[in-house]
A and B are shown apart, each in its own frame.
Chain A
Amino acid sequence: MEQQQGKKGFAIASLVLGIVACVISWWGLVLGIIGIICAVIGLILAIQAQKSYKAIGQKNGVATAGLVLSIIGLILSIIGTIACGIVCAAGTAIANDSRIANQLLDQISSSVN
């Protein structure tokens, strides 16, 4: 039974997702967010795989590798994506001023056109 053998599928999936997260986290905001999602899912799968192997007193290198790569991918994605400084001055303070908000939003319109 799969439970007695440990969750090998989870281990492999976590390795793949960890690699994907490490690779794509470096290339822009959208890919960074996808990288975070992949890393988190990979981390969850790796932990579940580790737990299943621990329950039967075994170790699995693939699950360990998936865990490590998912952690690295998550850290890289967080660093690459989250910047509090992205919150620019055109934030709430401006949004609360409808005159400036309209000007900014006119800029959005014109930039889109």
Chain B
Amino acid sequence: MFPVFEIFGKQIGVYGIMAAVGFVACFLVGRLLIRRYDIDIYDFALTMIAAGIGMAIGASLLYAATNYRYLFYGFSHFYEIGWSGLWMCVKTALDGFVFYGGFIGAAIGILIYTKCAKDVKAHRDHLLDIYAVLVPLFHGFGRVGCFFGGCCYGIESPFGFTVHNNHLNPAINDVNRFPVQLLESGCNLLIFLLLLVLFKKHIMEKRLIYLYLLIYPIVRFSDEFLRGDGIRGSLFGLSTSQWVSIILFIFALVMLPIKTKKLKAQSAQAAESDAD
């Protein structure tokens, strides 16, 4: 579609704009959600920064893991290709992001920050709830960015759009493709609205992240069949993202009852202390 446009001679990636818009939207929604727990706006901003750093590292690392051949070649042939060649290999290996890597990285960032910062230590579960609500919102904007950028494209299809002259992702050109990016963006918006309603109604408090991990992996596993790019590699007929979806779904299936039991025990204990 329109992967880049020029301002004052500088090429601006539309994906970057959508990512920035998504981040701003998450901050604006998040500052409304934190009011319930009386979390300071600056503490929330620092939590978002920790999540952002974790997201960038996680997303890049998982992408690099699927591009390990470039890294392997770069380091093993260093004496032939030198620093310039190594830099090209490293740049290629790290030149993209995988959503699941970003999701896991951001969650780890929040967990580390809430462990270290005394001001938000008590709000760890609340912040994870807010994170669960905001992730699909950000992801929805990101997928629109993918649509305009021409990456993460769909399978050849009679329904959809044909892109021409996309120099950033030439594989997409001249083939009518299903707009799977828009489908996933729409699904993410629905997930965001669902989790927002549950948050507002205090349903599944302190467990929304597990609910998200029960819903989104199903969506992702399904729409991977509509993806036309093998960009994250495949294993035994399933894409990398489908395998990660299975793992995260099982993780949530195991953790949700454990967390529910733990919360029930805590509230029973609190009720006993009040009675005393």
Binding site for B on A (CB under 8 A): 26, 40, 43-44, 47, 50-51, 54, 75, 78-93, 95-96, 98, 101, 105, 108-109, 111-112
Of the stretches B126-134, B163-171, B261-269, the one at the interface is: B163-171
Residue from A40, A51, A82, A98 with most neighbouring chain B CB atoms (10 Å): A82
Chain B residue with Cβ nearest A93? B230
Residues of B within 8 A of A81 (CB): 16
- Chain A proximity mask over B141-178: 1 for CB below 8 Å, otherwise 0: 01001100111100000000000001011110000000
CA separation between A84 and B152, bound complex, in Å?
A: 9
Binds A, one of B28-36, B80-88, B197-205: B80-88
Kindly identify, within residues 3 to 37 of chain B, every residue whose CB is under 8 Å from any CB belonging to chain A: 3-4, 10, 12-17, 19-20, 23-24
How many residues of B are counted as interface, with CB atoms below 8 angstroms from the partner's CB atoms?
58
Chain B window 68-81, contacts with chain A (Cβ cutoff 8 Å), 1 for yes, 0 for no: 11100100010011
A47 to B43, CA, bound (A): 8
Known: A51-B40, A92-B232, A112-B88. 9 other contacts (CB 8 A): A78-B23, A82-B15, A83-B149, A84-B145, A85-B169, A87-B63, A87-B96, A88-B170, A93-B171
- Chain B residues whose C-beta falls within 8 Å of the C-beta of A111 in the assembled complex: 88
Supposing A84-B15, A85-B169 touch, asked if A47 and B46 sit within 8 A by C-beta, the answer is yes
Residue in chain B with minimal CB distance to A32: B16
In the assembly, what is the distance between CA of A94 and CA of B77, in Å? 19
**Taking the nearest CB of chain A, how far is it from the CB of B33, in angstroms?**
18
Q: Contacts A40-B49, A85-B169, A112-B88 hold; do A79 and B67 have CB atoms under 8 A apart?
A: no
Query: Is there an interface contact between A26 and B49, defined as CB atoms closer than 8 Å?
Result: no
Given the contacts A43-B49, A51-B40, A54-B42, A112 and B20 also touching, CB distance less than 8 Å: no
Q: What 10 pairs across the A-B complex have the smallest Cβ distances?
A: A83-B13, A85-B168, A87-B96, A85-B149, A84-B15, A89-B171, A93-B230, A79-B16, A85-B3, A112-B85
- Tell which of A79, A83, A109 touches B85, judged by Cβ atoms closer than 8 Å: A109
Q: What residues of chain A lie closer than 8 Å to B67, measured between beta carbons?
A: 91-92, 95
